[in-house]
Amino acid sequence: MAFPDGFLWGSATAAHQVEGNNIASDFWALEHVGGPMFAEPSGDACDHYRLYREDIALLRDLGFTSYRFSIEWARVEPEDGVFSRAAIAHYREVLEACHEHGITPMVTLHHFTSPRWLMKHGGWEYDGTPDRFAAYCRTVMAELGPLIPYVCTINEVNIASLTRRMIEDMTAAQRADAPTGGEQAPVGVSADAAEQARDWRTPAAAALGTTADNLNLFLFTWSDNGAEIVRRAHIAARGAIKEVSPSTKVGITLALQDYQPGPGGEKAADERWAEAFDCFLPAMDGDDFVGVQNYSRVVVGPDHALPHPAGAELTQMGYEFYPQALENVLRRAASAGLPMFVTENGLATEDDTRRVEFVRLALEGVARCLADGIDVRGYYYWSALDNFEWMLGYRPKFGMIAVDRETQERTVKDSARLLGDIARRNTLDSAAD
């Protein structure tokens, strides 16, 4: 179970979830509206904007060779057409710190959050958003491209359709008075929250200086037009990046569940995969890689997702503990014909022994894929730090490194030591030594 030379071993974060005080973003405003949508505001988060050097050094010391993080559009372009030289300089320093410590950076240019001003135009339903996003990407990559070997334009371009599916599953289950395993809901969305959001839109729009009709957040733009805007934004961004930084490898990341058919669910499971993956293949034409992000499986019946199996172990996010899903998803995603990185895979739990087991089993699946000639070039655990999990606040613990909410002190968990040791040896044999 040795991994190829040059295989990237990393962990991932997102700017809004770890940096803190991302005040020019749409989510910052929404967190402070009040009401039931957010458990708590992000505040200082993990103070990673200030502590990035220590965090990168810690990842290096643990044995990791790569770090996936996002550059925050709202910091770089806090007003429409106005770019912050200070923010660009900050991210240059983050990238330089990676290189100084022998860490290969993988950068995401949009990870769920957008500048406040975009909502005044109509957000991710606005026809001009792809051009505006591409202009931001061009600016960043013209300045920082030589320091960025890999860039993901948009994180989880398919997340809105998955969230919509999850709401449909929950609604169908409620009508049938039955539980459901449901779709992946990495932002902590629930059917009740979706209902509450209808009343929440008006004050939320007011907080962003726009109207409810224009409040089209990336995560909740569920229309076909919104999905097309996102696909166009990726294509436009890729073109801009290739123009100013041709040596940078460009891709997107997709949230991909392991859709397994239950009784009578074969057609429905295939339809869900097509919606989550196949629909994005045309937009990926010209990409250098695809980022695969997986956390669990969904068992699908003919009409909606089926309940979790009796006695199934569930995570803090309500997913089934099912690390075997990653191997199944990688084998299916290989049909795109692109090199793959596992850009997110992880577990929300207070019990780190379960995280250790999850990582072991997931990586055994990756190793089997490699042995069969499937082109997987790296594995990034989500997340490096216990961070802000969107609407759920700080309760879910995904991190390999704990963060004290009062002091910002970092405490390394056994799972980080395990994965770092595997990275150093580039083999799973380390787990037995």
Q: Which residues are catalytic?
A: 156
Which of 67, 84, 66 is CA-nearest to residue 75?
A: 84
Strands 150-152, 104-108: pairing kind: parallel
Specify the 3-state DSSP secondary structure of 158: coil
CA distance 387 to 380: 16
List, in sequence order, every beta strand (DSSP E) within 98-194.
104-108, 150-152
CA distance 87 to 48: 14
User: Which residues have CB under 8 Å from 288's CB, separation 6+?
Assistant: 249, 250, 251, 338, 339
User: Which residues have CB under 8 Å from 142's CB, separation 6+?
Assistant: 244, 245
**Torsion-angle region of 286 (φ positive above 0: left; ψ -120 to 50: alpha; else: beta):** left
Structure tokens at 267: 């057609």
CB contact at 8 A, 237 and 133: yes
Specify the 3-state DSSP secondary structure of 403: strand
Angstrom CA distances, 121 to 81, 117, 171, 209, stand at: 13, 7, 31, 11
CA distance 298 to 294: 11
